[in-house]
Amino acid sequence: MHEYGLAEDIARHVREEAERAPGQQVAELEVEVGGMARLRTEILSEWLQEALSDLGARERVRVSRAPVTAVCPKCGSSRSIHVDEDDIPTLNLEYRHCPKCGADDVQLSGGTDCRIRALTLST
């Protein structure tokens, strides 16, 4: 369960920021998961809400998934693919196929990282 450990790491960072401004609550926390990451955004969101509930973050946490980028080495076309939570992009032959030229060796990228896109604290 990688989501729990990741939520704890993010919560630690948010707490450090909140300690710099005593009395502040989380007004907004937006986290983005890489398109190639094997993480469940819904589960990560639930763990973050729980970990940060004392800072008022229950309804203010958003976790989204970044799209995967597909680039065809043959024709150079590029497209963004919004993957399903249960999908493994590198194993999906549909994503590896270029809709423009028909090549079957499309390169996929999208990161496996997770980052805080926005953190707003307020009283």
- Candidates 68, 71, 60, 48; CA nearest to 111 is 68
- Fill in the DSSP letter of residue 120: E
Q: How many CB atoms lie within 10 A of CB 15?
A: 14
Domain boundaries, the chain: 2-66+111-122, 68-109
Tokens of 25: 């609550």
**pLDDT in the model for residue 58:** 73
CA-nearest of 28, 26, 62, 13 to 42 is: 62
- Is CATH 3.30.2320.50 correct for 2-66+111-122? yes
Tens of pLDDT, residue by residue, the chain (123 residues): 589 999 999 999 999 999 998 888 899 999 999 999 989 999 999 999 999 998 887 788 999 999 999 999 999 999 999 988 888 888 888 899 999 999 999 999 988 899 999 999 988
Q: What is the pLDDT of residue 85?
A: 83
